[in-house]
Amino acid sequence: MNILFVADPLHTFKTQKDSSFAMMRELQRRGHTLAACEPQQLQWCSGQLVTALVRRIRLSGQADDWYRVLQHERAALRDFDAVLMRKDPPFDSEYFYATHLLEQAEREGARVFNRPRALRDHPEKLALMEFSEFAPPTLVTRSPEAIRHFHAAQGDIILKPLDGMGGAGIFRVGPDGMNLGSIIETLNQGGATSVMVQRYLPQIKDGDKRVLIIGGQPAPYCLARIPQGNEQRGNLAAGGKGVARALSDSDRQIAASLGPQLAARGLLLVGLDVIGEHVTEINVTSPTCFQEISAQTGFDVAALFVDALEARISAGA
């Protein structure tokens, strides 16, 4: 197969932990060919096919200088066997426009994973609200007054921006309400920006679990990201410690309910964030933790993903 990755610049990859790199490595091991581009290199001229300025690459097997560029060319997306949209957040206007170009490429015959419309329809924090039976008490609002009322009702809350990643911009406010006003001002920007507010879950001390759903089915292990020191966030980017664990019965029940629904909507790969028995986010843009799970358990997550991708392509999905 001929696979195109739409992703961040290759030179920014941290190959020791990057899940897109793990996918590339497994694809190349199976004899598939690789190409890469960035979203800004997508192009659509009226009356013509959606194309991209791509680099044909081959992985070198070296830690630092990890890829070789074999060729630069402009190619139609429909000429690839699969296009993997792996651009990291933020989910901003340019990301939104990229999904429209990718959706046009789909109409022309390209097979894009995750599907562009599904990416648009499942903003990573808002998507949770559809599945309230698995979520902690959650509020999305621009209203400072509504946030204060939510805090009064819940007592201990987490506030976060809708477009953040890696734990950026997340705040905890306890029962004393310390700094709630200034945090609302920072996140809400005078009513200009929506804020997500959730009841604080003390089970975060045992880890914020990343449960990977591939082709509608869960990988058998998750990565519990455990806050360190006085930090409230378990995100690896915020210094959390990643510990791989077998899925709990609760994790499996959540995955059994959400996985098939999300796969049917065109989401081949989903990363559920689970604290205790509650889902706090549904990650669809570029879910990670492949390498951390594989290194600690020996289970090859990238192989599971490529199995699912090959099956979808063979089935004409």
273 is catalytic: yes
Contact criterion met (CB below 8 Å) for 105 and 96: no
Please pick, among 87, 160, 199, 209, the residue that the annotation labels catalytic.
Answer: 160
Please pick, among 18, 124, 281, 292, the residue that the annotation labels catalytic.
Answer: 281
210 is catalytic: yes
Please pick, among 125, 208, 235, 292, the residue that the annotation labels catalytic.
Answer: 125
160 is catalytic: yes
Please pick, among 225, 235, 251, 292, the residue that the annotation labels catalytic.
Answer: 225
125 is catalytic: yes
Please pick, among 25, 111, 199, 210, the residue that the annotation labels catalytic.
Answer: 210
283 is catalytic: yes
Please pick, among 18, 208, 251, 273, the residue that the annotation labels catalytic.
Answer: 273
65 is catalytic: no
Please pick, among 25, 115, 199, 233, the residue that the annotation labels catalytic.
Answer: 233
How many residues can be counted in the chain?
A: 317
Kindly provide the b/e burial profile for residues 306-315, where b requires at least 16 CB atoms within 10 angstroms of the residue's own CB: bebbbebeee
230 is catalytic: no
281 is catalytic: yes
Please pick, among 209, 251, 283, 292, the residue that the annotation labels catalytic.
Answer: 283
Residues with a known catalytic role: 125, 160, 210, 225, 233, 273, 281, 283
